[in-house]
Amino acid sequence: MKLYKFLDKKFLEQILLIGFGTILTLVTTLLTGWQSNERIHEEWRRNQISTVTHDILKRRLEILEKTTRYLNKNGLFEIYEMQNNWHRERMAITAKSDVTQEEFQEQINSLTENYKNYTDLHSEIATTLSLAKFYFGPKTKNAVEVLVSSSTDSTSYWFKKNPQLFNNVLSAMEQEIAHEVDFSFNVED
């Protein structure tokens, strides 16, 4: 009986009130922690997107600079001259019959070096244009594809094309320098 006297109505109300307060505090703490975690996660996500966007913009500017340098008359003239020099040297070597083995080897080495320079520059330009298709939007991709595919036969080189095609590529890149980056993928994973 003494135990029941100890558990009177007022005491039970106080216990319930303390229990309810404890549960309410626990729920509030959990909700606050969850909201804080969500804010931190969202801030991290925005920072990641900002970093990636900045990196892409920086890369686009580098590609635009390279493309401008390559598609200007000097870059195209250089690759055209390399190609012509290589053909001239090859013809000169095959036309000569009174050369020593040493002279012939020197000429072949020179020819090989010129051809390597030509192919290196051509590869660098082709890589830059491929990167432009990847990093920029649909206008640039289309302009590059038109430029590269405008060659109708194997003797027609893309760098001998109409300068308007080069201007179209540069114009599309300039228009799309800040083209929206698609972040529809899930950044959380």
* Cα separation, 39 vs 97, whole angstroms: 80
Would you list the domain boundaries of the chain?
A: 2-42, 59-175
Task: Identify the three-state secondary structure at position 118.
Answer: helix
* Cα separation, 134 vs 166, whole angstroms: 17
Distance of CA 98 to the CA centre of its chain: 54
pLDDT value of position 48: 86
The pLDDT tens digits of the residues spanning 81-136 come to: 666 666 676 676 666 667 677 877 777 777 777 777 777 877 888 888 889 998 89
pLDDT value of position 2: 53
Mean pLDDT score of the chain, rounded to an integer?
78
* Cα separation, 31 vs 39, whole angstroms: 12
Name the DSSP class of 176: T
pLDDT value of position 1: 44
Write out residues in the chain with pLDDT < 50, as ranges: 1, 187, 189
**Full-model pTM:** 0.59
30 token code pair: 């959990």
* Cα separation, 131 vs 67, whole angstroms: 10
pLDDT value of position 183: 56
